[in-house]
């Protein structure tokens, strides 16, 4: 044995049906974490499942609702935007990397409007701006803009938000 579990055939039992083996692998992968159809396909093929069998298993799981790329994409958008403060652009890139198709991505991203993105950027920036209160203005600006950039926000929005925070500081500091 090579130390890897590859079905009952290597354990002296009867040979395992390729479709049954593929279903077991797919269920283990899905039990570990939700996956897109493309991610599941990649996982099955990496475990040397016949491509035709992999497609049959994926199709069946879509039919019975175990795989739903649209719902998974919508969930990813909600969590990435609300909990992590990521921008539409950053989430779009992540969904593309995970193999979601363009229509599922666009449908899921429709949850985030331009105003939502601006509000999220402002909330993130304001929290970081307050934590950097002891730093000089140039450092604060650089760090807040860099943080927003890492979250996927465009530089124009990042600088707009920072200017608003600077104005608020100046108004608050002069009264």
Task: Provide the domain count of the chain.
Answer: 3
Does residue 1 belong to any structural domain of this protein?
no
For range 106-133, the mean pLDDT? 94
Q: Cα–Cα distance between 161 and 89 in angstroms, integer?
A: 17
Q: Does 2 map to a domain?
A: no
Continuous segment of H or E residues that includes residue 144: helix 137-150
Residue 11 has pLDDT above 90, yes or no: no
Place of tokens 């990397």: 97
In this structure, the answer to whether residues 104 and 119 fall within a common structural domain is no
Please check whether residue 38 lies inside any domain of the structure: yes
Looking at the fold, whether 169 and 121 belong to one and the same domain comes out as yes
Q: What is the pTM of this model?
A: 0.79
Q: Output the pLDDT for position 14.
A: 74
Residue 162, in any domain of the structure: yes
Statement to judge: residues 156 and 141 lie in one domain: yes
Average pLDDT over every residue of 149-172:
92
* Model pLDDT for residues 114-126, shown as the tens digit of each residue: 899 999 999 999 9
103 and 119: one domain?
Answer: no
Domain end residue (candidates: 45, 63, 81): 63
DSSP state at residue 79: H
Residue 147: CATH number of its domain: 1.10.10
169 and 122 share a domain?
yes
User: Is 3 a domain residue?
Assistant: no
Mean pLDDT, residues 89-118 taken together:
95
Long-range own/partner contacts, residues 112-116 (CB < 8 A, 24 or more apart): 112/77, 112/81, 112/88, 116/81
Q: Dihedral through CA 65, CA 70, CA 75, CA 77, nearest 10?
A: 170
What pLDDT is recorded for position 175? Answer: 41
The answer to the question of residue 47 being in a domain is yes
The tens digit of pLDDT for each residue in 16-72 reads: 899 999 999 999 999 999 999 999 999 999 999 999 999 999 999 999 999 999 999
The confidence score (pLDDT) of residue 172 equals: 64
Same domain, 119 and 102: no
Does residue 3 surpass a pLDDT of 80?
no
Whether the predicted pLDDT of 5 surpasses 80: no
> Is residue 148 domain-resident?
yes
Identify the domain boundary among 41, 63, 85: 63
The reply to whether 81 and 59 lie within a common domain is no
Range of the domain at 81: 69-109
So what's the pLDDT on residue 37?
97
Same domain, 33 and 59: yes
pLDDT at 2: 44
């Amino acid at each position: 044995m090579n130390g890897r579990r590859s079905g009952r055939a290597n354990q002296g039992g009867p040979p395992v049906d390729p479709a049954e083996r593929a279903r077991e692998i797919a269920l283990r992968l899905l039990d570990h974490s939700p996956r897109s159809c493309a991610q599941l396909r990649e996982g099955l093929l990496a475990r040397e499942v016949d491509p035709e069998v992999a497609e049959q298993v994926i199709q069946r799981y879509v039919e019975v609702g175990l795989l739903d790329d649209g719902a998974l994409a919508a969930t990813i958008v909600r969590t990435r935007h609300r909990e992590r403060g990521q921008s539409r652009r950053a989430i779009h890139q992540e969904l593309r990397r995970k193999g979601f198709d363009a229509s599922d991505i666009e449908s899921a991203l429709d949850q985030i409007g331009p105003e939502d993105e601006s509000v999220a950027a402002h909330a993130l920036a304001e929290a970081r701006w307050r934590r950097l209160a002891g730093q000089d203005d140039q450092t604060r600006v650089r760090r807040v803009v860099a943080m927003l950039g890492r979250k996927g926000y465009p530089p124009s929005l990042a600088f707009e938000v920072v200017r608003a925070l600077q104005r608020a500081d100046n108004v608050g500091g002069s009264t």
